[in-house]
Amino acid sequence: MSVNTIEHNRTRQNFDGVSSVWLFGYGSLIYKVDFPFLEQQPASIEGWVRRFWQGSHDHRGTREAPGRVVTLIEQPGAVCKGMAYRVSPDVFEHLDHREKNGYLRFSTAMTFDDGRQEQGLVYIATEDNEAFLGHAPDADIALQISRSVGPSGRNDEYLLKLAEALRHLGDDDPHVFAIEAMLSA
């Protein structure tokens, strides 16, 4: 699949007659909220883990020297914590542009911290996108993150802000916190 997903996402869901949509964010969408929303709820989704396995060409690295950002990897029984936003469907034009480097919108069930459940969308960069980097030892990921920078800023800033936001949510994500510890070591 081509790395730019804007056109793919445009035809994935039909928002005709829909006044609002829940969006689940698990990476930068937790801490960089540059879009309007109607409501916000700490939430989680089941069956996925957060991993720094997606290459970033357009935000935290370049095509020649990609940074690493998070995507979701399927893992039965796992729970991924994040933030859910209820947004107007027209917000997806901005979000599709922001998440264009390999992320596709998928439908997901989400559970809010108060127990309420909703169906919504989540951006996932699957392993068939050209920017996907996949697994690497934590130390290698930390080194790549410490060296990368792109149009949205330093890659380590992405990691540190995500770690801080997860702590705020009361999440204990061993993958993110292990890489954070190596960065500051």
Residue ranges in contact with ligand SIN by CB under 6 A:
25-29, 69-70, 99, 123
Q: Which of 64, 93, 99, 157 is catalytic?
A: 99
Alpha-carbon distance of 51 to 135, in angstroms, equals 8
Alpha-carbon distance of 160 to 6, in angstroms, equals 28
Q: Which residue is nearest to ligand SIN (CB)?
A: 27
Q: Which is nearer to ligand SIN, 17 or 167 (CB)?
A: 167
Angle between helices 174-184 and 155-168 (to 10 degrees): 130
Q: Which is nearer to ligand SIN, 70 or 73 (CB)?
A: 70
* CB 17, min distance to ligand SIN, A: 26
Give catalytic status of residue 74 as yes or no.
no
* CB 30, min distance to ligand SIN, A: 6
Burial class of residue 41, CB neighbours in 10 A (0-12, 13-18, 19+): middle
Measured from the Cβ of residue 147, the count of other Cβ atoms closer than 10 Å reads: 13
Q: Which is nearer to ligand SIN, 92 or 123 (CB)?
A: 123
The residues annotated with a catalytic role in the active site are 99
